[in-house]
Amino acid sequence: MEKGGRLISGMEQACVVASIKTIRPNRYHVQTDCREFDEIYQQSFILDAPSRELFRIEGDEYLWCLDVDGSGVAVLPARQPKPSLADDLKRLSNAELAHYWGDQNEGCRGGPGDAPETQEACGRREIAADELARRKFCYRAVKGAWDWLPCR
């Protein structure tokens, strides 16, 4: 990224940020005008910026850092190993996993929508739901109450 983060360049592509819309704190919808050889097109993506050091584009994590010569800002992929919640959840029993999902659902639905901890709970809930679905569990109503049960 160059020119104060408004120009994004790749191997054979260059894009200029056309607009940035705040979705919620630290999450943005970015639209760009791009050129690759003689082809001109637009693209858009979701940018998450949870800190001044880290950002994510469409789920891929990156770190901000200075160019070698200090002339501007370059973007390098984060090389830090990330602990995987999905791997941790695979170790839980079905009942423990459903209970964990319920705890995260309470944090997701019960917190302020723009609070980081609410968004984190929603993300953890989604990962737990994916693991339950992988185990062929469905969230459905039985006798007026909703619960995770084996899919039919």
Phi, psi for residue 131 in degrees, rounded to 5: -70, -40
Same domain, 91 and 73: no
Same domain, 31 and 67: yes
Band of pLDDT at residue 74, cut at 50, 70 and 90: low
pLDDT of residue 82: 54
Last residue of a domain, one of 31, 58, 77: 77
Same domain, 94 and 72: no
Same domain, 15 and 63: yes
Last residue of a domain, one of 77, 98, 117: 77
Average pLDDT over residues 51-66: 72
Same domain, 64 and 117: no
Tell me the average pLDDT of the chain: 80
Same domain, 100 and 137: yes
User: Please, which residues bridge with residue 33 across strands?
Assistant: 16, 42
Same domain, 68 and 110: no
Say how many domains are in the chain.
Answer: 2
Same domain, 94 and 69: no
pLDDT of 110 > 50? The answer is yes
Does the residue 2 lie in any domain?
A: no
Does the residue 89 lie in any domain?
A: yes
Looking up tokens 């423990």 gives 96
pLDDT of 2 > 50? The answer is no
Same domain, 73 and 110: no
Per-residue H/E/C for the chain: CECCCCEEECCCEEEEEEEEEEEECCEEEEEEEEEECCEEEEEEEEEECCCCCEEEECCEEEEEEECCCCCCEEEEECCCCCCCHHHHHHCCCHHHHHHHHHHHHHHHHHCCCCCHHHHHHHHHHHHHHHHHHHCCEEEEEECCEEEEEECC
Q: Which of 9-23, 57-71, 113-127 has the lowest mean pLDDT?
A: 57-71
pLDDT of 132 > 90? The answer is yes
The answer to whether the beta carbons of residues 31 and 41 sit under 8 Å apart is: no
pLDDT of 30 > 60? The answer is yes
Same domain, 94 and 66: no
Same domain, 30 and 69: yes
Q: Show the domain range for 42.
A: 7-77
Last residue of a domain, one of 77, 107, 124: 77
pLDDT of residue 41: 86
Per-residue pLDDT tens for 5-26? Answer: 555 656 567 888 889 999 888 8
Average pLDDT over residues 92-100: 93
Does the residue 125 lie in any domain?
A: yes
Average pLDDT over residues 35-40: 83
Residue among 105, 114, 119, 111 nearest 147 (CA): 105
